[in-house]
Structure 1
Amino acid sequence: LRLLKEDEEFRLAVTGLLGIDEILKAIKSLQEQMVKLQEQVAKLQEQVAKQGEAILALQRSHEKLAASITALGYRYGIYTEDVFRDAIKYLIEDLLKVYEVRRWTYYDNEGVVFGYPSVIDVDVLIRDNEHILIEYKASIDRGDIAELAREGILYERVNKVKPKLLIVGPVVRKRALELAKALNIEVRATEVME
């Protein structure tokens, strides 16, 4: 030990034999690599943060677009149904005096139509003992067909008259048309979509 402390040549010879120089060089190399790695990680963190911001901006943009589309569909659907309903009433009841047009509103406390108690609104064309339930939709899908069928069941229970069922809209999905045929519901639409 004394020689290691006092004799520098001996100390260098021993450290060389033990490979301490190589270990120190390896440690220095590892430290340099760690610095580079830390720099790369910092750059990646910046990129991830920028992408996160871009994703949030896209999500906000998507939400705004979805809200606009929903509002447009709602506006188009509701206004179209109201205008069509008024036009049918004018033609059938006022001009032709063929049918009486009524709005049937009933509280379905058994949940026949929607599976839970709710208010049901449906237009009815009435002439003598003939009752026709009619729905107007901006786009007709299977859910609309099934809903009208259940409204027909409820109407028959309450009024003791089996109604004809008619649904009208500019577009009907093919699968809705197939269900309507199976349920004996008349569909009036200008276009059939897949």
Structure 2
Amino acid sequence: MAGKLRREFIELLEKDEEFRYTVAGYLGLSEILKELKNLREGQSKLWEEVRSFRERQEAKRVWNYVSTAFSELKSALGVTFEMRTAAYIELILYEMGYVGARVEKKCILHKDEILEIDLFSENPLVVGEVIALLKDAASASREVEKLLTRVRAVEEKYGLRPVLTVLSVATASKQAAEKLVEEAERHGFRLVLGKEIEEALQI
């Protein structure tokens, strides 16, 4: 009897698709298939997250590269403008009768603080600062104060007033330029803009 039932059961499994699925459901195959589907969906979601993470990492890497390159370019441009300004100030000194005067960067110790001076000559005494860009009046005022701090430090160190005090700016907004002109008149320093240097050196 058991053998006959077994044969009939197997025969139904082979011939009746609906019966086959019904039995599979009873055996828990439907649950297994459901779990497999969930697993596939979870795996797809995981791969999406991995892809998104990689894209974010790549974007971050590119941004870091661009930021570094921009900083290096900005620094290089600043150094170039500083060198051009030094050459221009040497030309001014030559016209003032100081033949062979050299203008260069210098650091001095003042009140336990090291001050870097962009433009310096000891004989004749010259003090100057170089700025690549000024966007507004507030930043212009800060740079003027920075220059005046260095002038005071040099005067204390050498016991002399500079024959020439310079603030050189490559690019300035209209607001910043107006503030610089006002401060130059008030404090008596020479304001030099990038265009003036280019014309003088014919660059």
In 2, the alpha carbon distance for the partners of 1:61 and 1:104 equals 34
Distance 1:179 1:147 in 2: 13
Of Structure 1 and Structure 2, the greater helix share is in 2
The structure-2 alpha-carbon separation of the partners of 1:87 and 1:176, relative to structure 1 and needing over 3 Å to count, comes to closer
- Using a 3 Å threshold, how does the CA distance of structure 1 residues 34 and 179 change in structure 2: closer, same or farther? farther
**Match for 2:55: what amino acid?**
A
Cα RMSD after superposing both structures: 3.9
**Structure 1 pair 156/105, CA: closer, same or farther in 2 (3 Å)?**
same
Q: Percent identity?
A: 11
Q: Does 1:93 align with 2:97?
A: no
1:138 paired residue number: 132
Give per-residue Cα distances to partners, 1:17-69, cap 9 Å, x unaligned: xxxxxxx99x9988766554433222111011011111111111112212221
Aligned length: 158
Deviations 1:81-113 (A, max 9, x none): 112312331x2233x2445555473531524xx
What's 1:59 paired with? 60
Equivalent residue for 1:189, pick from 193, 197, 201:
193
Does residue 157 of the first structure (1) align with residue 156 of the second (2)?
yes
Q: CA deviation at 1:176?
A: 8.1
Q: Unaligned regions of 5+ residues in structure 2, if any? A: 1-24, 196-203
Unmatched tracts of structure 1, length 5 or more: 1-23, 112-116
Residue 149 of structure 1 and its aligned partner are, at CA, apart by 2.5
In structure 1, the residue matched to 2:5 is none
- TM-score by length of structure 2 reads 0.57
User: What secondary structure is seen at the aligned counterpart in 2 of 1:169?
Assistant: strand
- Work out whether residues 92 and 101 of structure 1, in 8 Å CA contact, stay in contact via their aligned partners in 2: no
